[in-house]
Structure 1
């Protein structure tokens, strides 16, 4: 398996696996022989890419994250990387198909990432899966995500940096949750907000 340049780092990971090698088809013979310098958790060292993807899909948390991308939001890479870290079942990009993958740090290769042309398409997909849409934005009438965490099965819908949720998204979500703030700024970065929202989900629905 050929690793991309931004995935190789001689200062991280592990070297060749000591002999005898594991008798397990999840392991990649090339990585076992040459070492594994990828940006993956230790439990996945020397595993084939396809095996990691399959294991993540099998053990994913039952929430998805959607983010609007009408103005080429540069935070999407951060959202994808964070969704990977919190074990999200998938990431949905609404609007523009193109986004800067650099911030994802190659984690996009391990996640189910889907594109929806507009909010109606996301709504139709979520309805077919029986998943409520939960907006994340600091709008009048919203409720604190700490007092009312998202349900276990849900799609967390993030507005893009600046304008926040679009009118179409506001109309589509079941409820809008906000992240309490105590400083002078009106809002926080969309990538940071997504991480706080996912952490609130984990705190409510996972232990350990």
Structure 2
């Protein structure tokens, strides 16, 4: 493993060389602290030195209005995989992440990527369903339960909500009933199921292959 520090150091050339706005003043998209001291955050290179608000605004701007993804996660037992799901949702520029059930969740696995996402809370599945219906978004469940269909080669809606259950028990019966369809990832080994975070990544990537 390299001993080199992550990220970049101070903006080359000092304050006199910092980015400027059209009127000649400081560019408000850039964080003066990061410009002065360096940016060690877990962000892609084009977002170095930008404020959190500027990054969120750019991600929103780049998202296709006709093809976007929301990710919802049932949170009944403080599942540690939620942070991993959130981090993956950020990687695919999800339009929103929805925590269903308990409001509090373990953010460690998210690696602070939740700062750059629109995170919403719904106290129960019924509330999520009402929100999705109001937005005209179908709900696609991801779980290997009876009646689910293979994810492979299935056309996924361009605008939808992917709903994931927690690691131990998967989607609750209420969540399964709320889905327009439930898909599963075909497995070829001996394990009963995939890790919830891994399954979420496969499902999001499958959607991205079709629509991004």
Same fold (TM over 0.5): yes
Stretches of structure 2 lacking an aligned partner (at least 5 in a row): 21-26
Say if 1:80 and 1:107, in contact at 8 Å, map to a contact too: yes
What is the correspondence of 1:56-71 to structure 2 with a 5 Å cutoff? 56-60=59-63, 62-71=68-77
Query: Match of 1:64, SS?
Result: strand
Corresponding residue to 1:22 among 15, 19, 24:
19
What is the correspondence of 1:1-208 to structure 2 with a 5 Å cutoff? 11-19=5-13, 20-23=17-20, 24-60=27-63, 62-206=68-212
CA distance in structure 2 between the partners assigned to 1:32 and 1:75 by the alignment? 34
CA distance in structure 2 between the partners assigned to 1:82 and 1:138 by the alignment? 20
Stretches of structure 1 lacking an aligned partner (at least 5 in a row): 1-8
Superimposed CA distance per residue, residues 56-91 of structure 1 (whole angstroms, 9 cap, x where no aligned partner): 222236110001011221111001011001111111
TM-score between the two structures when normalised by the length of structure 1: 0.91
Say if 1:95 and 1:116, in contact at 8 Å, map to a contact too: yes
CA deviation after TM superposition for structure 1 residue 22, in Å = 1.6
TM-score between the two structures when normalised by the length of structure 2: 0.89
Say if 1:69 and 1:94, in contact at 8 Å, map to a contact too: yes
- What is the number of equivalent residue pairs in this alignment? 198
CA distance in structure 2 between the partners assigned to 1:25 and 1:109 by the alignment? 18
* RMSD value, Cα: 1.4
Superimposed CA distance per residue, residues 76-127 of structure 1 (whole angstroms, 9 cap, x where no aligned partner): 1001011001111111011111111111100111111111000000000001
Say if 1:16 and 1:35, in contact at 8 Å, map to a contact too: yes
Q: In terms of mean alpha carbon deviation, does 184-193 or 59-68 score higher?
A: 59-68
CA distance in structure 2 between the partners assigned to 1:154 and 1:126 by the alignment? 8
CA distance in structure 1 between the partners assigned to 2:63 and 2:144 by the alignment? 28
